[in-house]
């Protein structure tokens, strides 16, 4: 969808600005060649106008937004507060309330000047680190009792350059210690870090004016919301490059995480998903082609890492990752090998299974329909082919097959389903309700469009339903789950969903493109899916850190709100029984090894995340690492013992198996082995026993 726009704005003259000369003449390099280009100026003016006219919120570009731009730009350049000092910030303080004026006049020089200072400081840091490494690790004092704050997002800015350089010294020492604890020898550490820092210096020299412009303009656009962003001409050719590798890649959604690239979610039926070797929040630290040497990618841009991972179908790519299952500050890595391939539609298709469970002396048969994504073969659909493939068609067929097998209820499994076709989310809902609205879309002018099931044939399936979700259930998954909850058609069980409830459109510019948030999704109850997602009726312990994954983890995420509901409030048949269902669930899972493990692991991770100050004394650091390893080992062995498995003598014996394989990511195809799926079926059986009328609606 293209937004109406009157055309390219005419250029305006730069306003005069006295540049603050804080750059040194030679140390850290000369970056004066990086200057704003004419076409970038025109693009910035167009972006300002598009945001003013068409962004969903239409917030003013004023002094208050200027302060947000300043803070956001500093954070995007220096999230760990490693390169700017309080002296620098005092020097630039006058700009805090002037970015609105700069942008309205097409003056990009302030953004370029701060970026040049950032490059100078990063060069100084790399040069200092290389000099220290050249002197030899034997000159580093690992017996000195000092520490480093690793979570520096809210740390105080270093006062001046000497304090900054001391921070750099400690940071290098921490890098060396991490590699020592990971089992590397001094010579290997020195070679690895020297190569890494030289490569980063080389990459700094390749920074272009477009890189500066994109970073600066996105610091501006993302003060509106995290999904509104400028795409350079190169990225605009295929804007999915920053979001998905589903085409001839590994099938993973990636994002920057300070100097690392982090996996956000796995594309269903993609190479990474099928391998069971990768998980959300894993950090990629090196990439190799086939059997060639791994290339260290710490400090690289997201698009550069993506280019390394992408490649011809059938070829191999090796990734060195720091697993999400590691304790915080545990740098131990492992290498996984994947074969690149395009994700096929049939591999993402919905599939069924049957759970047979003993409960209260009765064997219950519960059907399970797993939906990895909301798909439709648009090409066949538009061509008018009667046998086109879609989520709704497949699920309808699977329901019919399950009914022939005498199931008592159905679990719709939407875990890790990142969304897909909005049309299919609406069509799928129509299989379970009489008729009526399924989702509301509100645009920036306040107009609400209602998507509805207008068929008067009644529901295709009237029996009991539970919808199983988790933090990685997003977008179309949230629309379907929300509608099923609002119509009181299903129990929603599992984890709080992702919370992305906004709609974006691509707007061409004279130079690149703007991805613009122009609408918002609402459930038929009038509640937004944005930020909050769908809250389950009965919740399971989270298996990923919800503070790192999800819409609410993104800066400037638009808030949850509500509008007028599209349906009248109906009697909720589940409400009188929820307390009893919760009590039975709690009683059953209190002794369940997988649920105990999930709760204890989540508690341990949260506890360790609070321990952000690390010792730079080697003996203390090793003792601390041994303590954390022992805690993890005890946690793992309690689970193994409860399941009748052989305990581990050391945590790293289990290197090739992520701890997450004891959860919903288990590769075992038997549904009975999936603790969360089995418990969801038990809850559905409880509901049928408490309310026998539900068996024959």
* Region for residue 494 given its phi and psi (left: phi exceeds 0; alpha: psi -120 to 50; beta: otherwise): left
Beta strands per DSSP E along 42-184: 147-149
Beta carbons within 8 Å of 481's beta carbon, 6+ residues apart: 414, 467, 469, 473, 492, 497, 534
Inter-residue contact 417 to 370 (CB < 8 Å) = no
Structure tokens at 150: 């690793």
Handedness of CA 216, 218, 222, 226 (dihedral sign): negative
Beta carbons within 8 Å of 165's beta carbon, 6+ residues apart: 124, 128
Q: Crossing angle of helices 422-430/391-404, nearest 10°? A: 30
Beta carbons within 8 Å of 47's beta carbon, 6+ residues apart: 217, 220, 221, 230, 509, 514
Q: How far apart are CA 683 and CA 468, in angstroms?
A: 11
Inter-residue contact 365 to 356 (CB < 8 Å) = yes
Q: How far apart are CA 499 and CA 471, in angstroms?
A: 8
* Region for residue 137 given its phi and psi (left: phi exceeds 0; alpha: psi -120 to 50; beta: otherwise): alpha
Distances, alpha carbon 11 to alpha carbons 3, 44, 218, 507, 678, in Å: 22, 10, 21, 19, 63
Rg of the chain (C-alpha set): 27
Residues with catalytic function: 475, 486, 500
Structure tokens at 298: 């710490």
Distances, alpha carbon 669 to alpha carbons 36, 251, 353, 398, 664, in Å: 56, 21, 10, 18, 11
């Amino acid at each position: 969808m293209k937004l109406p726009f009157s055309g390219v704005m005419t250029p305006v003259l730069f306003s005069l600005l006295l540049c603050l000369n804080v750059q040194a003449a030679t140390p850290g390099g000369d970056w004066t060649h990086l200057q704003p280009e004419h076409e970038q100026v025109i693009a910035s003016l167009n972006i300002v106008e598009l945001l003013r006219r068409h962004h969903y919120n239409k917030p003013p570009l004023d002094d208050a937004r200027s302060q947000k731009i300043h803070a956001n730009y500093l954070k995007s350049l220096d999230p760990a507060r490693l390169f700017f000092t309080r002296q620098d910030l005092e020097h630039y303080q006058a700009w805090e309330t002037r970015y609105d004026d700069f942008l309205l006049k097409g003056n990009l020089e302030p953004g370029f000047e701060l970026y040049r200072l950032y490059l100078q400081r990063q060069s100084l840091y790399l040069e200092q680190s290389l000099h220290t490494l050249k002197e030899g690790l034997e000159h580093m004092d690992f017996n000195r009792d000092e520490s480093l704050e690793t979570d520096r997002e809210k740390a105080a800015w270093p006062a001046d350059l000497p304090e900054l350089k001391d921070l750099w010294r400690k940071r290098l020492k921490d890098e060396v210690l991490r590699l020592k604890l990971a089992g590397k020898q001094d010579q290997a550490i020195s070679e690895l870090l020297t190569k890494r820092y030289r490569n980063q210096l080389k990459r700094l020299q390749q920074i272009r004016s477009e890189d500066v412009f994109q970073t600066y303009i996105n610091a501006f656009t993302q003060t509106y919301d995290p999904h509104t962003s400028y795409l350079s001409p190169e990225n605009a050719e295929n804007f999915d490059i920053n979001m998905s590798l589903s085409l001839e890649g590994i099938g993973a959604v990636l994002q920057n995480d300070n100097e690392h690239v982090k996996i956000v979610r796995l594309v269903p039926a993609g190479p990474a998903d099928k391998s069971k070797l990768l998980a959300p929040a894993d950090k990629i630290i090196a990439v190799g082609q086939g059997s060639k040497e791994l290339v260290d990618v710490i400090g690289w841009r997201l698009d550069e890492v993506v280019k390394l991972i992408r490649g011809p179908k059938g070829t191999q790519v090796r990734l060195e990752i720091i697993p999400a299952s590691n304790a915080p500050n545990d740098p131990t890595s492992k290498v996984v090998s994947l074969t690149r391939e395009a994700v096929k539609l049939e591999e993402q298709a919905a599939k069924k299974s049957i759970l047979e469970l003993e409960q209260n002396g009765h064997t219950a048969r519960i059907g399970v329909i797993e939906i990895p994504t909301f798909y439709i073969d648009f090409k066949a659909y538009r061509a008018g082919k009667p046998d086109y493939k879609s989520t709704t068609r497949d699920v309808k067929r699977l329901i019919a097959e399950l009914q022939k097998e005498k199931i008592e209820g159905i679990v719709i499994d939407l875990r890790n389903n990142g969304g897909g076709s909005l049309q299919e989310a609406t069509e799928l809902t129509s299989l379970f309700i009489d008729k009526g609205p399924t989702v509301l879309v509100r645009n920036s002018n306040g107009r609400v469009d209602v998507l509805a099931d207008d068929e008067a044939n009644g529901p295709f399936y009237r029996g009991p339903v539970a919808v199983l979700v988790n933090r990685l259930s997003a977008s179309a998954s949230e629309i379907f789950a929300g509608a099923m909850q609002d119509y009181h058609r299903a129990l929603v069980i599992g984890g709080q969903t992702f919370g992305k409830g906004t709609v974006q459109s691509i707007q061409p510019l004279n130079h690149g493109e703007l991805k613009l948030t122009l609408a918002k999704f609402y459930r038929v109850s009038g509640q937004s899916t944005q930020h909050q997602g769908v809250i389950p009726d009965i919740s399971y312990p989270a298996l990923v850190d919800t503070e790192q994954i999800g819409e609410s983890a993104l800066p400037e995420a638009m808030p949850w709100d509500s509008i007028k509901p599209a349906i009248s409030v109906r009697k909720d048949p589940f409400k009188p029984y929820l307390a009893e269902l919760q009590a039975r669930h709690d009683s059953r899972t209190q002794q369940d090894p997988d649920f105990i493990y999930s709760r204890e692991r989540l508690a341990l991770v949260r506890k360790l995340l609070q321990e952000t100050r690390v010792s730079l004394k080697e003996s203390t650091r090793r003792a601390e690492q041994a303590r954390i390893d022992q805690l993890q080992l005890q946690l793992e062995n309690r689970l193994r013992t409860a399941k009748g498995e052989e305990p581990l003598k050391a945590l790293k014996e289990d290197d090739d198996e992520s701890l997450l394989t004891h959860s919903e990511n288990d590769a075992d195809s038997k549904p009975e082995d999936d603790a969360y799926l089995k418990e969801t079926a038990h809850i559905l059986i409880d509901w049928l026993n408490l309310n026998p009328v539900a068996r024959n609606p």
